[in-house]
Structure 1
Amino acid sequence: MTHAASRRTVLTAAALAAAGATAAPALVSAANAASAPATASGATPAAGAHTAAVQGPHADYRGWSTAADWSAGAAEGAAPAGGDRPGIAIGTPAGRTDYTDPHTGTTTAYDYAVWTSPAHTPAAPATEAVASWNAATPAGTWIQVELGGTYNDGTDTGWFVMGRWAAGDTDFRRTSVDGQGDGRSSIWTDTFAVDDASTGLRLASYRLRVTLYRAAGTGATPTVWRVGAMASDVPDRFEVPATTGSVARELTVPRYSQTIHQGDYKEYDGGGEAWCSPTSTEMIVEYWGRRPTADDLAWVDLQRKKRHQDPQVDHAARFTYDSQYEGCGNWPFNTAYAATYSAMNGVVTRLGSLTDAETLIAAGIPLITSQSFTEAELTGAGYGTSGHLMTVIGFTAEGDVIANDPANSPTDSAVRKVYRRREFENIWLRTKRYTDKGSVASGTGGVCYVLWGSEITDAQRAALASVGIV
């Protein structure tokens, strides 16, 4: 139950809306960097570069996060970051550029540096890709993440902006970029999608480009610890194969209702049904022992704090808000928010089945799933939605899903629900569905957020690797 619905209904099955689509306006990159390559082709994977494990037969996540990963990329002004966690920062800037914030009208001069990954070839050519990143952006700094690749016919995509992001919002407004396309693929807020998958066109390989910005003449720098992308080609399907439960475990995850925030902060999309994503993200952040401080929450007014006593949900909404999309449902903005907390990590990916989810739960790792359904399709939910996020926190002995579902809950304690395994698995993993009116809409095909703290055990690390997160 989220404002994201208007966008999510076209994301996963782009071909539904793309037959006969016209070309979008030409791509414009904020960097305007002379150092940037004209196309995304020409790179080969670095020696020893690993290919991520396949999540089911149709999805592949590849992340860059180690010292070896950063060294394998091409750096123009970017340098290794100091500290215990491998990353990149601005060294000697590659250049200077002006950026006019479309949401404030303010033009600021920035010094910038660029890091470009080696080319990655997904396990299967893809119809979609979603980038995600973990970074710190002190005041006066921000980052831009772009994706560029090569189609399976040998032609290049050009570069697409996947997000312009900062942790804060006082001197820069984080934003997606509308109107990007090359006549063959388009960007839907945070997702690269081939316009008409029925033609056989696929993304055969891609690179990610990160541009780091700081106010001109200052010494501050953003630091990026992880950047990656999930590339997938999930087949059109109304039904998915059923699995049998094998894990009975429930994780102790804080419970927060989005419903009790109805009417909060219209400038951040007004709470209530619009806040499923930040509410779910905040629950999992706190599961890992992180949360905003009292100073962080000082901006939330006392009236709201007294009314619902969950100012951290308002905080998560503000700091996941996408000014272009005008909502809090941008997938990578949520995982990036989670990673602003000390030693936290987050990625957007796809899983292939509830068996994959069980692997994570068994290791003590909850997840956040994205799905859409009519009220009749999910027994006990009490609502229908064209796009909604909730947390999966466990499985019963019968294999049913235990969820902290923030929707339609009058209190925090009421968010815990048990959903039938077969119903949940299908609404989450399918790519097509029928609405109440009988029309065909799309589903997310297993999209989820996976968040974890760097203090994880070897067993948890192995569980992440088993679902392709390395």
Structure 2
Amino acid sequence: MSSRPTPRRTVLAAALAVTAAASPLSSAPSAFAAARGGGRERPDGTVDYRAWTTFPQWAGGRGAGTRVLGGDRPGLVLDRPIGTLEYTDPHTGTTARWEYATWLSPVRTLPDPATEIVVSWNARTPAGTWLQTELRTAYSDGTRSPWYVMGRWTSGDAAGDIRRTSVDGQGDKKSNVSTDTLAVDDPASGLRLVSYELRLTLHRRPGTRLTPTVWRLGAMGSDIPDRFTVPASRPGEGAGHKLRVPRYSQEIHKGQYPEYDNGGEAWCSPTSSQMVLEYWGRGPTAEDLAWVDPSYADPQVCHAARHTYDYQYKGCGNWPFNAAYAATYHDLQGVVTRLRSLGEAERLVKAGIPLITSQSFLASELDGAGYGTAGHLMCVVGFTEDGDVIANDPASPSNAAVERVYKRGQFENIWLRTKRHNAQGEVRSGTGGICYLYFPVRPTTRQARALASVGVR
């Protein structure tokens, strides 16, 4: 459970609590008022997801030692290192030398100024390689942030490799990074994030020809109004549709591999990720799972927990790490974004795309859950004829009990709100509609249209 201050989030995806963010940025407006000017005012907030995935998009950035691959799935690779560095892994104490190359995105001017930015990526990092993502933003007062590390990531944890990690303690008295989210310290001041740029640094062991391959790099900027309650949307096109998503319980893994976030009871995020991965027909091989105790059921859930674990956060709920894990599987993509309503979720489900949502609530706020939580992930897999939510909730005693039906208004409220009261009556933050979306590299026409309708391309 996180104690890092943030205006939106006090928890990323914690264990159940039964009590229920090289070249200058473009110039920014000089007044706080610019944060609200020139954009579209929406009562449900603004969300902008932008990704670099195509050959022209990657070629439009500034590479130093990197090269853009063409083909069916364009990406960025390390071509000729521009230098070496020594990195002391804070989680192993090991110091090693690495070659590196960099890529800098064009400046992205947000169509609506934001209070938060979440970066996510899809990549392959063979043993002996890793990557770092960074973010720098321009503020509405004409200043800019430092470069913030948004993740040091590797898909594996082989001997000699770094441990995937977020970086704590980053801030400039205007914004701060809470594990995987850059947020303005005081949104009420009017200060906003008006543009940003991303930087990738690709690393490999010296003297080798190894390289990470990055297929997608994206960021989601948002400004969701503070609210304790969210009116329920009316049932729409997704009513009566349900997807056949496998069901896995995190609870049956209690006590297993406690080195990864205290065992299965805290594995809501990787368990949800595994359900959706298998819906798309993806998953680890028998060889991948050989390390798991053969007496454990559903070893793929243990594998997902191990490979999403953030060694700094000490948990498996780092949002971009889960999306990156999903994209390590053949021709699958993963993004972190926000939706504004269950109507948008219905559009995705009807097109055949389940989603993983993050929410927090008291037991009394979600009928049928039987628990309260400071932060929990579950899969939205369908809607009843009346528009209620069909969820695969991993906080269930068995796989058979995972499918639940939750009241539309209750579910929408706990997912979309940004403020809530805990069991002690204290004000805490909500996630404001955060979700993971996993989908094929080549989605169907209907799926591509549904994704585009929520800003994902």
* TM surpasses 0.5: yes
Aligned-partner Cα distance in 2 for 1:265–1:13: 27
The match for 2:187 is 197
Partner SS for 1:316: helix
1:71 to 40, 43, 59: 59
- Trace 1:153-164 onto structure 2 (pairs within 5 A): 153-164=141-152
Contact kept, 8 Å, 1:320 with 1:330, in 2: the verdict is yes
The match for 1:46 is none
Cα distance, 1:89–1:370 mapped onto 2, change above 3 Å: same
Could you list the per-position Cα deviations for residues 354-384 of structure 1 after superposition, in whole angstroms to 9, with x for gaps in the alignment? 0000010010000000000000000000000
**Which residue identity lines up with residue 422 of structure 1 in the other structure?**
G
Aligned-partner Cα distance in 1 for 2:70–2:292: 34
Aligned-partner Cα distance in 1 for 2:45–2:394: 31
The match for 1:138 is 126
Cα distance, 1:209–1:166 mapped onto 2, change above 3 Å: same
- Trace 1:47-196 onto structure 2 (pairs within 5 A): 57-81=45-69, 83-170=71-158, 171-196=161-186
Once the two structures are TM-superposed, the CA of residue 42 in structure 1 deviates from its matched residue by 6.7
Once the two structures are TM-superposed, the CA of residue 92 in structure 1 deviates from its matched residue by 1.3
Aligned-partner Cα distance in 1 for 2:7–2:71: 38
The match for 1:364 is 352
**Which residue identity lines up with residue 231 of structure 2 in the other structure?**
P
Once the two structures are TM-superposed, the CA of residue 11 in structure 1 deviates from its matched residue by 5.4
Aligned-partner Cα distance in 2 for 1:66–1:208: 16
The match for 2:289 is 297
Contact kept, 8 Å, 2:8 with 2:430, in 1: the verdict is yes
Cα distance, 1:11–1:321 mapped onto 2, change above 3 Å: farther
Contact kept, 8 Å, 1:101 with 1:173, in 2: the verdict is yes
1:223 to 213, 227, 240: 213
Aligned-partner Cα distance in 1 for 2:431–2:114: 15
* Identity, % of aligned positions: 61
**Which residue identity lines up with residue 183 of structure 1 in the other structure?**
K
The match for 2:323 is 335
**Which residue identity lines up with residue 422 of structure 2 in the other structure?**
T
1:286 to 278, 282, 307: 278
Contact kept, 8 Å, 1:40 with 1:158, in 2: the verdict is no
Contact kept, 8 Å, 2:6 with 2:183, in 1: the verdict is no
The match for 2:245 is 253
Partner SS for 1:376: helix
Contact kept, 8 Å, 1:347 with 1:450, in 2: the verdict is yes
Could you list the per-position Cα deviations for residues 411-465 of structure 1 after superposition, in whole angstroms to 9, with x for gaps in the alignment? 1111000000000000000000111211111100000000011232011001000
Aligned-partner Cα distance in 1 for 2:262–2:228: 33
The match for 2:13 is none
The match for 1:12 is 8
Once the two structures are TM-superposed, the CA of residue 7 in structure 1 deviates from its matched residue by 5.1
**Which residue identity lines up with residue 198 of structure 1 in the other structure?**
A
Contact kept, 8 Å, 2:389 with 2:406, in 1: the verdict is yes
**Which residue identity lines up with residue 265 of structure 1 in the other structure?**
Y
Partner SS for 2:113: coil
Partner SS for 1:291: coil
Q: Does 1:317 align with 2:305?
A: yes
Aligned-partner Cα distance in 1 for 2:220–2:8: 13
Q: Does 1:426 align with 2:408?
A: no
Which is worse superposed, 181-190 or 90-99? Answer: 90-99
Which is worse superposed, 345-354 or 74-83? Answer: 74-83
Once the two structures are TM-superposed, the CA of residue 145 in structure 1 deviates from its matched residue by 0.4
TM-score (norm 2): 0.91
Aligned-partner Cα distance in 2 for 1:289–1:330: 23
**Which residue identity lines up with residue 166 of structure 2 in the other structure?**
S
The match for 1:32 is none
Once the two structures are TM-superposed, the CA of residue 343 in structure 1 deviates from its matched residue by 0.6
Unaligned runs of 5+ in 2: 11-20, 29-38
The match for 1:450 is 437
Aligned-partner Cα distance in 2 for 1:286–1:82: 28
Once the two structures are TM-superposed, the CA of residue 239 in structure 1 deviates from its matched residue by 1.1
**Which residue identity lines up with residue 129 of structure 1 in the other structure?**
I
Once the two structures are TM-superposed, the CA of residue 193 in structure 1 deviates from its matched residue by 0.7
Contact kept, 8 Å, 1:348 with 1:447, in 2: the verdict is yes
Aligned-partner Cα distance in 2 for 1:42–1:219: 39
The match for 2:17 is none
Partner SS for 1:285: helix
Aligned-partner Cα distance in 2 for 1:173–1:55: 41
**Which residue identity lines up with residue 200 of structure 1 in the other structure?**
G
2:227 to 203, 218, 237: 237
**Which residue identity lines up with residue 126 of structure 1 in the other structure?**
A
Cα distance, 1:13–1:388 mapped onto 2, change above 3 Å: closer
Partner SS for 1:302: coil
Aligned-partner Cα distance in 1 for 2:256–2:3: 22
**Which residue identity lines up with residue 187 of structure 2 in the other structure?**
A
CA RMSD of aligned residues (A): 1.8
Provide the aligned length of Structure 1 versus Structure 2: 431
Unaligned runs of 5+ in 1: 15-26, 28-35, 44-50
Contact kept, 8 Å, 2:122 with 2:216, in 1: the verdict is yes
Aligned-partner Cα distance in 2 for 1:55–1:434: 22
The match for 2:377 is 389
Aligned-partner Cα distance in 1 for 2:136–2:235: 39
